[in-house]
Structure 1
Amino acid sequence: MNTKLTLTVDKAIIDRAKSYAKNTGRSLSQLIENYLITLTQESSQNELSPKLKKIVGAVKLPKDFDEKKELRAVLESKHL
């Protein structure tokens, strides 16, 4: 069931997000929904993604490394 959501976001960010959505063949609603799904997925904070598991041992990460936090920061700096 879809529900309408009203957000208040800086116009420049909305314009860039719309452009990104158009260039990737998706709607802004799809982008936001996918982000919210990723953000709210229930999984262990200590569980590593398959991509990260492949390089375990090749890279020394701090014990308190938060993969989701780091990924979110990179994606936000790249796309917003």
Structure 2
Amino acid sequence: QISWEYYYETQSELDGNTARAQKYKPNYFTFSLGDMNFDYVFSIEDLIIICNLIYENDQYLENGDMNQDNIIDSDDIVLIIEAILAND
């Protein structure tokens, strides 16, 4: 699936409209497991979000389930820490 972002502009000095579109790669909206804030980087922010999910016993977010066992727990915290350290 290809997604398009559409910009619509009008310019007062010109008659008519200008349309601009930007093409995204098919995997543009695909994020890695553990990238909780969807910034394409493993960081302490992702770790904090996962810890909050566990502490608050909040909703299950598939992106936080690093080992894909359908539970967000300390095992996922260990894996996100390893991913953060691998970025450095």
Q: Same fold (TM over 0.5)?
A: no
- Decide which structure has the larger Cα Rg and report it: 2
Question: Normalized against structure 1, the TM-score is what?
Answer: 0.28
- Of structures 1 and 2, the one with the larger relative CO (CA 8 A, separation 6+) is 1
Question: Normalized against structure 2, the TM-score is what?
Answer: 0.26
